[in-house]
Every structure is written in structure tokens, then in C-alpha cells.
Amino acid sequence: MEENTVDIEKLGDDIVRVIKTIYDPEIPVDIYELGLIYDVFVNEDLEVRIVMTLTSPNCPVAESLPQEVKEKVKSIDMVKDVEIELTFEPPWTKDIMSEEAKLELGML
């Protein structure tokens, strides 16, 4: 059991690393630093559920971005399945962005 806990934690880190390779097409910052990923859950069966949002409901990548997240996370060896939950509650605002993203965009 102890070993499995470490694996899930490492898997969580791997998932975040993969998510950080995905960029919003209109903003030169990865979607993790932008604050578009609200939560990442990994269960004992190595199934992943990601709660994410978009910068707006009318985002031009509303269909392709969640799909890209799903495909890239699913490509991680240990991951058995990926479910993406798209939400607009709370709505995304620039305040959600990391300090790194704000710095990158000249907002600090």
C-alpha cells in the first residue's frame, strides 16, 4: 500500500508536467500556470479525473483543448483512463494565474 501511495503521488507530478506542455493558443503561457486546471484526481485504479475550465465559454479551442489534455495525460504509461470535467464555476479570471504566468505576460 505504501508503494502505491508514492506511485500515485509521482503520477500526479507526471500529470502536471504533461499538462504544462499544453499552451493556450492565444496566450503564450501553459494552461497549468494560466490556472485553467482546477483539480487533478488520481484514484487507486490509476484513473484520472481533471477538472478544468477555459478562459471563456466561447474559447476557440473549447473542444480541442480538453481533448488535447485528455490525450496527453492518457499517454502517460501508468494512467488507465482519463475523464475531463469542464466547468465554468468559478469562472476563470486573470487573478487565478500563477505569479509566473503574470510575470510572463508583463502583468507584475
Residue 107 lies in a domain: no
User: For the chain, what is the domain count?
Assistant: 1
Residue 76 lies in a domain: yes
Supply the range of the domain harboring residue 67: 2-94
59, 62, 74 from 92: Cα distances, Å: 12, 14, 25
Give pLDDT tens digits for 97-107. 999 999 989 98
Q: What is the CATH number of the domain that holds 13?
A: 3.30.300.130
Angle at 78 between CA 98 and CA 52, to 5 degrees: 30
Give pLDDT tens digits for 29-39. 999 999 999 99
Residue 74 lies in a domain: yes
User: Residues 21-42: what's their mean pLDDT?
Assistant: 93
Residue 3 clears pLDDT 60, i.e. is over it: no
CA gap 93, 5 in Å, rounded:
34
Residue 100 lies in a domain: no
User: Among 42, 31, 107, which residue's Cα sits nearest to residue 67?
Assistant: 31
Scanning the structure block, which residue is given the C-alpha cell 486546471? 37
Residue 104 lies in a domain: no
Evaluate whether 76 touches 18 at the Cβ level (below 8 Å): yes
Residue 86 lies in a domain: yes
Q: How many residues are there in the chain?
A: 108
Give pLDDT tens digits for 76-94. 999 999 999 999 999 999 9
Q: What is the pTM of this model?
A: 0.89
Phi, psi of 50 (to 5 degrees): -115, 125
